[in-house]
Structure formats: C-alpha cells, structure tokens
C-alpha cells in the first residue's frame, strides 16, 4: 500500500509539471519542439554523467540546460539563417542529438553503469520509487519527488506571475513584441523549464513517454475550457487522475505502469474529443464553414 | 497639417528578396489613411517595418517627432486575422484587457479601473453581451471589433489596422468604419491596410498607394487616379473593373 501511494506521488510529480508545461506547448503549437527537447537532452545527460561520474541532479541539470538551449538555438538557426522549413529543422536537431546521446551511452557508459539505453528510453517507475530519501528514519519521498517538487513550485510561480505575458505570448505575440513585452524571454523560459523537466523525469517515465504526459492532459483540457487559467487547472487534474488510474490498473493486471498512464491519458483524450462542446476547429475553417452565420443568429 | 508618421527611405528584405524599396512618405495626424496595394505588394511588411515587428534594412521612422520607442505606448495595432490563434482559450473581455497592460510592468494585476475601461470599450463596439464568450465563437466581424476595442482600451493616439475587412460581412464592415470615423473626429490618427479599392473611396481621407515602391500618396481624390491605379495594380485590374 505504501508503495502504491509512493508510486502515485512519484508519477504525479512528473505529470503535474508536464501537464502545466503542456498547456503552453499545445496551445502555442510547439508540441514538436517539446518532443525535440525531451529527446535532445540525452547527450547532455550522458556527458554530465560521464564527466561527474554520478547521477546527481546538479551536473545533469546543467547538461540539460545546455542541450536544451542548444536545441532551441539550432532549430532557430536552421530555420532563420539557413531557411530550412521548421519541421525538418526540428526533425534534424532532435534525432541528431538523441542519436549522439545513444552512441555516447553505448561507447562510454558501459553495461554495468547506472545509465543504460533501456532506462533512458522507457524509464521505470517501479524501480525509481526504490530510490528513496530517508533522513533520521523518516521517509521524505522518492528522489524523483524531491527533485521535481522544486521545479513544480518554480513553474507555478512563473505561470502565476507571468500569466498575462503567457497569454499574450501564445495568443498574439506580434502584439506583445509590439507593445514591448519580452516575448522571446517567455519562449526561452519555457524551453529551459522543459529541458529541466525532461532530465528530472526520464528515470521514471523515459524520454519517449514523457511527451505523452506533456501533450495529452493539455490537449484534453483544451477541449473543454474557455479560459487559460481553467485549462491549466483541468490539465493538472487530468494528469493526476491518469496517474492514479494508471497505478491502480497496473497493480491489478500486473503490467508496467508508465506506458499505462500514457495510454489512460490517450483514452481520456479520445473521449474528450468526442464529447467536446466546441469540437475545436481552426478559426479559418470555422469562418469558411459559416461566414457571418453567427452575426445573423445573434 | 501635423505629421503623425514620417518615414524616410524604408527598405525591407525578406530573405534575399527586396520587398520594399526606399519608401519615403508621411501620414497626416487626425485623418484616416489607407495603405493600398495588390496582394504581395508589401503593405503588411510596410506596417510591420515601421512598427519594428519586422527587421528593416535601412530607413528612419518617427512618430509625432518621436522615436518608436518613445511613442510606442500611444500606438495601437490591430493585427491581421491569420496571425491570431482563434482556438486559444481566451474570452472577449480578456482580449480587450490586454490593451490595459503596462508594457514595462506586464506582471501587475488588472485594476478595477482597468476593468471599467474594458467594459466601456466593449459597449462602444456593441459587444457587451459577448464579453464572456471564447473569442473563436464570434463571427469574423465581431472578432475584428474585439480587436478594435482592445485598441480603444489602450487609449492610443495612433491606431493601425492590418486588413481589418478581410472575411467579414458588410454589416460589420459598416460598424467598424463608423467607429473609425468617430475616432478620427475625436482627433485620433488611423492607418488602415487594405487590398482593394471598394471601400476606400468613401471612407479614407488619405491614401498611400504601394507596390514594392511608393506609387503615390496624398489626399484620396488625388491619389486614386486611373494612371496611379494602373501603375499599382496593372492593366488587368482596370479591365476587370470596366
């Protein structure tokens, strides 16, 4: 029982910040960039591990921040300077960096080390809860929880204090840069937080499944809410619910939990699309479908 | 007549392509100025260039004798439809509230005085009953009025609108033009980018005719002469119209 609770809490500690970051990613159509960053931090993690010889979070975070920025910079550079289309630039950047990371593990990290490809790719929630922090006989939580909690707090502060700015950054960045809001800073902040999240969560859910936690709760929430604050709130709730369901079902049929959480999220998303009050379309489709229609109706 | 915007030698490149070639022109204060030209003539780029949204190769722009930085807070910009994400979860009053943001202090909370202004401006554009609707649920014309309301909430001296009449019905077009004329009569300067000549003749006071280069500028009746229009739009346009 205690393990189950610990497992839910660990999963939630990954899912909550992911679902909050996801709201910004999905509504800004940056899902691909989110995907890219969560993969591209791999070489950063490996190099940090090789240099420091430990899996302590300090060097790892530094590695992630560097590769996260490198990814953002490379995508931007290819797009603007070399005028490569955006999806190709993203595709190149993250596969290249990710592959470099995989090679680095194969070449240097060795079979007996803490870091193997399996762990990085798929993560392992079940083993990650064994990494517990016990001080003076008291269990304070798993390492993942204690690492992701500060990130979640920082993220919440960033969202709350920057709320107006985030709204403009997503909805109408031209207006933002026009009135003199540092929209670029918002972009970089999101990318930095995303890189840190990717590093702190890869042990529990792996770099592939973390994308599901970024995208799905947010995409679901967007089907139902008409304000940004509610979207954040719904998204976090969906993240938490999926973690609880994932752990319960996983225990029941004895199956790996992190893919299950993503599957549950996927199903919730599908149901939400069917039930959505808006059936979100793009504005152009909407207006092409009924030009001026509402004008007369109202 | 006071000069609202003075533009000298504005040149803009997109990638390797020359989009705007050494444009020097002035916009008069307290008038409605239409920036007109065919599709791809660089009208929007011209706006974005003078507003510092698009990088310019060379050129000087001043607003009422000030630099853009100094005058920025008194300019309102109504963007083109395509640049907006209409699915974004934001309500009509939230969009108008953006107009009350103090750029250097964007983290400050909205005051009740700001909320009052938002309410008033929504009344002015006749959208009070839609204030809690998600922006995408409005018709094209109503959406355009929301952005006009945001410009009003900014209490700007200079209002710049990028293609406000694309994809909207006649009723909304009239409604927007009525508001714009009222603003002009209250002493504001309005610049509207527009791609055809239909509405122009009736409402715009001045016209800047563009097609990569400056074709003509000045009072509407002086600029919209057949020879200028032909230069900007080419022969086919004239033949179509006749």
The pLDDT > 70 percentage for chain A reads 88
* B19 compared with A294, residue with greater pLDDT: B19
Residue A32 falls inside a structural domain: yes
Angle, in degrees to the nearest 10, between helices A183-222 and A163-171: 80
Does A189 contact B at CB distance below 8 Å? no
Residue A246 falls inside a structural domain: yes
Please report, for the domain that includes residue A38, its CATH number: 1.10.3470.10
Q: What is the mean pLDDT of residues B144-163?
A: 91
Tell me the per-residue pLDDT of B98-143, one tens digit each, with 9 for 90 and over.
Answer: 988 877 777 788 888 889 999 999 998 889 999 999 998 888 888 9
d(CA B160, CA B234): 27
d(CA A226, CA A27): 12
Residue A67 falls inside a structural domain: yes
Taking a contact as any Cβ pair under 8 Å apart, which residues of chain A between 196 and 225 contact chain B? 222, 225
The predicted model scores a pTM of 0.81
How many structural domains is chain A composed of? 1
With beta carbons less than 8 A apart as the criterion, state whether B38 and B233 touch: yes
- Scanning chain A, the segments in alpha helix (DSSP H) are 2-27, 31-52, 57-80, 86-104, 117-122, 125-128, 143-161, 163-171, 173-179, 183-222, 228-253, 257-275, 283-289, 293-297
Q: Do A287 and B79 touch (CB under 8 A)?
A: no
d(CA A142, CA A146): 6
With beta carbons less than 8 A apart as the criterion, state whether B75 and B51 touch: yes
Residue A286 falls inside a structural domain: no
pLDDT at A114: 64
The pLDDT > 90 percentage for chain B reads 31
Of A27, A181, A295, nearest to B88 by CB-CB distance is A27
Tell me the per-residue pLDDT of B172-224, one tens digit each, with 9 for 90 and over.
Answer: 888 888 889 999 999 999 999 988 777 766 789 999 999 888 988 999 888 88
Domain span holding position A27: 2-277
What domains can be seen in chain B, in order of their start residue? 3-233 (3.40.50.300)
- 3-class DSSP state for residue B185? helix
Residue A294 falls inside a structural domain: no
Residue A290 falls inside a structural domain: no
Tell me the per-residue pLDDT of A148-202, one tens digit each, with 9 for 90 and over.
Answer: 999 999 999 999 999 999 999 998 888 888 888 888 899 989 988 998 898 888 7
Give how far A88 is from chain B: nearest CA, Å.
18
Residue A295 falls inside a structural domain: no
Does A282 contact B at CB distance below 8 Å? yes
d(CA B216, CA B204): 15
Q: Do B169 and A292 touch (CB under 8 A)?
A: yes
Of A83, A181, A227, nearest to B90 by CB-CB distance is A227
* CA-based nearest residue in chain B for residue A279: B87
Tell me the per-residue pLDDT of A245-282, one tens digit each, with 9 for 90 and over.
Answer: 999 999 899 888 888 999 999 999 999 998 887 655 43
With beta carbons less than 8 A apart as the criterion, state whether B205 and B218 touch: no
d(CA A206, CA B7): 55
Of B79, B87, B137, nearest to A174 by CB-CB distance is B79
Which whole-number Å values give the CA distances from A217 to A10, A108, A239, B9, in the listed order? 17, 37, 6, 51
Give how far A225 is from chain B: nearest CA, Å.
6
pLDDT at A279: 58
- Asked whether residue A66 carries a pLDDT value surpassing 90, the answer given is no
pLDDT at A18: 95
pLDDT at A47: 86
Residue A296 falls inside a structural domain: no
């Amino acid at each position: 029982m205690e393990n189950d609770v610990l497992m839910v809490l660990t999963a939630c500690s990954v899912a909550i910040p992911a679902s909050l970051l996801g709201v910004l990613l999905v509504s800004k159509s940056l899902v691909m960039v989110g995907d890219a960053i969560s993969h591209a931090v791999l070489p950063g993690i490996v190099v940090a591990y090789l240099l420091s010889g430990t899996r302590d979070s300090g060097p790892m975070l530094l590695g992630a921040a560097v590769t996260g920025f490198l990814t953002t910079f490379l995508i931007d550079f290819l797009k603007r300077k070399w005028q490569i289309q955006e999806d190709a630039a993203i595709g190149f950047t993250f596969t290249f960096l990710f592959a470099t990371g995989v090679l680095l593990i194969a070449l240097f990290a060795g079979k007996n080390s803490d870091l193997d490809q399996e762990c990085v790719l798929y993560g392992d929630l079940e083993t990650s809860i064994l990494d517990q922090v016990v001080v003076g006989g008291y269990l304070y939580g798993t390492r993942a929880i204690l690492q992701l909690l500060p990130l979640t707090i920082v993220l919440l502060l960033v969202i709350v204090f920057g709320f107006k700015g985030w709204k403009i950054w997503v909805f109408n960045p031209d207006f933002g840069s026009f009135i003199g809001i540092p929209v670029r800073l918002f972009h970089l902040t999101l990318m930095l937080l995303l890189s840190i999240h990717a590093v702190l969560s890869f042990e529990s859910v792996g770099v592939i499944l973390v994308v599901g936690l970024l995208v799905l709760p947010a995409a679901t929430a967007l089907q139902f809410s008409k304000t940004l604050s509610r979207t954040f709130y719904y998204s976090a709730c969906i993240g938490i619910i999926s973690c609880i369901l994932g752990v319960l079902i996983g225990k029941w049929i004895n199956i790996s939990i992190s893919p299950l959480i993503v599957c549950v999220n996927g199903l919730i998303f599908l149901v939400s699309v069917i039930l959505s009050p808006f059936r979100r379309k793009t504005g152009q489709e909407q207006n092409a479908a009924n030009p001026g229609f509402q004008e007369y109706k109202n | 007549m006071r000069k609202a915007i003075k533009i000298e030698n504005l040149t803009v490149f997109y990638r390797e392509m020359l989009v705007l070639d050494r444009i020097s022109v002035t916009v008069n204060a307290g008038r409605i100025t239409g920036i007109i030209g065919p599709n791809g003539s660089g009208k929007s780029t011209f706006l974005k260039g003078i507003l510092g949204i698009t990088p310019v190769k060379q050129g000087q722009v001043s607003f009422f004798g000030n630099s853009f930085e100094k005058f920025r807070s008194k300019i309102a910009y109504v963007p083109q439809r395509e640049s907006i994400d209409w699915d974004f979860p934001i309500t009509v009053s939230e969009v108008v509230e953006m107009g009350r943001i103090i750029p250097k202090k964007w983290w400050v909370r909205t005051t009740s005085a700001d909320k009052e202004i938002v309410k008033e401006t929504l009344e002015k554009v006749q959208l009070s009953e839609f204030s809690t609707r998600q922006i995408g649920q409005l018709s094209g014309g109503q959406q355009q009025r929301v952005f006009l309301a945001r410009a009003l909430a900014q209490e700007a001296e200079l209002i710049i609108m990028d293609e406000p009449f694309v994809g909207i019905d006649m009723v909304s077009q009239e409604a927007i033009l009525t508001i714009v004329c009222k603003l002009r009569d209250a002493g504001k300067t309005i610049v509207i980018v527009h791609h055809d000549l239909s509405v122009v003749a009736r409402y715009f006071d001045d016209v800047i005719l563009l097609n990569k280069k400056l074709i003509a500028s000045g009072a509407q009746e002086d600029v919209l002469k057949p020879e200028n229009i032909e230069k900007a739009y080419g022969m086919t346009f004239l033949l179509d119209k006749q």
